[in-house]
Amino acid sequence: MAISADDVFAETMSSELIAASDLRAKELMEEYDTLQKLRKARALTQEHVGRKLGKTQVTVAQLEKRTDFLLSTLREYVSALGGELDLVVRFEGNCRSLVRTNLQSCQNPLSARTSELRLAVN
């Protein structure tokens, strides 16, 4: 059963920490608005990612230019970067539900919230 992200954050973070996290998440979303930027931030080459995916560098370059993905494709790409993809569903009224999350494995709620938002965008 999905847990509301707002409920988790309200229980584990102060309002000041949530505001700071939201600001940082906005900065990260602007910084990592493309797959290419996300890969470069990890200091990885297209060749490296291609090897992890079992694809060529050209295929990775084409993938990074796409604007529409299957979730499985995006999950594989993020995994090749060394990350995990979490899916966030937003409903009217800014209510969010985490479909899958690793919040328990993060010691710092701020980093957990920031990572969740960053990955949801990418």
Q: What is the largest CA-CA distance in the chain?
A: 46
Report field, pTM of the whole predicted structure over 0.75 = no
Q: Where are the domains of the chain?
A: 3-121
Nearest-angstrom CA–CA distance, 75 and 79: 6
Nearest-angstrom CA–CA distance, 116 and 74: 15
Separation of first and last alpha carbons in the chain: 24
* Contact in structure between 117 and 25 (CB atoms under 8 Å): yes
pLDDT tens digits for the chain (122 residues)?
678 878 888 888 888 988 888 888 777 666 667 899 889 989 999 999 999 999 999 999 999 988 788 888 989 999 999 998 887 777 777 666 666 544 333 333 334 444 443 333 33
Nearest-angstrom CA–CA distance, 60 and 38: 13
Classified as helix, coil or strand, 98 is strand
